[in-house]
Amino acid sequence: MWLKIRNKIIKPNPLPYRIRFSYHKCLTRYMDAIFDKNVHFLGNQVEFVQHVVQNRKALFISLNNGAVYPGRKIFANAKMVHLIRHPKDLVISGYHYHKKGSETWNKMSLPKPKFYKFSLELDHVLNDEEKKLLHPEVTYQELLQGLPFEKGMMTEMVWLKYIKTFSPLIYYQSSLLPTYRFEEIMEDPVAGVRKICQHWQLSEEDVAYYCDRAAHYNRNPSYPIRNSAAYQYKDVYTKELNRFFKQQFNELVTRLDYPD
Question: How high is the pLDDT of residue 3?
Answer: 46
Helices 239-249 and 149-158, axial angle in degrees (round to 10): 10
Least confident of 2-11, 17-26, 155-164, 175-184: 2-11
Secondary-structure class of domain 13-85+167-219 per CATH: alpha beta
Contact 210, 111 (CB under 8 A): no
pLDDT band at 1 (very low <50, low <70, confident <90, very high): very low
Mean pLDDT of 20-48: 89
Cα separation of 49 and 3, whole Å? 10
Over the stretch 143-186, which tens digit does the pLDDT of each residue have? 999 999 999 999 999 999 887 878 899 899 888 899 999 999 99
Per-position b or e across 116-140, b if 16+ CB within 10 A of its CB? eebbebbeebbeeebeebbeeebeb
Question: Does the structure show a pLDDT above 70 at 6?
Answer: no
Question: How high is the pLDDT of residue 137?
Answer: 86
Question: How high is the pLDDT of residue 214?
Answer: 94
| Average pLDDT of the chain to the nearest whole number | 88
Higher pLDDT, 1 or 208: 208
Sign of CA dihedral 228, 37, 24, 252: negative
Mean pLDDT of 4-33: 74
Q: Give a three-class secondary structure readout of 149-218.
A: HHHHHHHHHHHHHHHCCCCHHHCCCCCCCCEEEHHHHHHCHHHHHHHHHHHCCCCHHHHHHHHHHHHHHH
pLDDT band at 11 (very low <50, low <70, confident <90, very high): low
pLDDT band at 15 (very low <50, low <70, confident <90, very high): low
Mean pLDDT of 54-75: 84
Q: Where are the domains of the chain?
A: 13-85+167-219, 87-166+237-252
In order, the DSSP letters of the chain are --EEETTEEEPPP-S-EEEEEE-TTSSHHHHHHHS-SEEEEES-HHHHHHHHHH--S-SEEEEES----TTSGGGTTEEEEEEE--HHHHHHHHHHHHHH---GGGGSBPPHHHHHHHHHHHTTTS-HHHHTT-STT-BHHHHHHTS-HHHHHHHHHHIIIIIS---GGGTTT-TTS-EEEHHHHHHSHHHHHHHHHHHTT--HHHHHHHHHHHHHHHHS-SS--S---S-GGGGT--HHHHHHHHHHHTTHHHHTT---
State pTM to two decimals: 0.88
- Among residues 59, 145, 51, the alpha carbon closest in space to that of 97 is found at 145
pLDDT band at 2 (very low <50, low <70, confident <90, very high): very low
Contact 224, 53 (CB under 8 A): no
Higher pLDDT, 38 or 54: 38
Number of other residues whose CB lies within 10 A of the CB of residue 4: 8
Cα separation of 40 and 62, whole Å? 5
Q: How many CA atoms lie within 13 A of 81 on its CB side?
A: 23
Contact 204, 176 (CB under 8 A): no
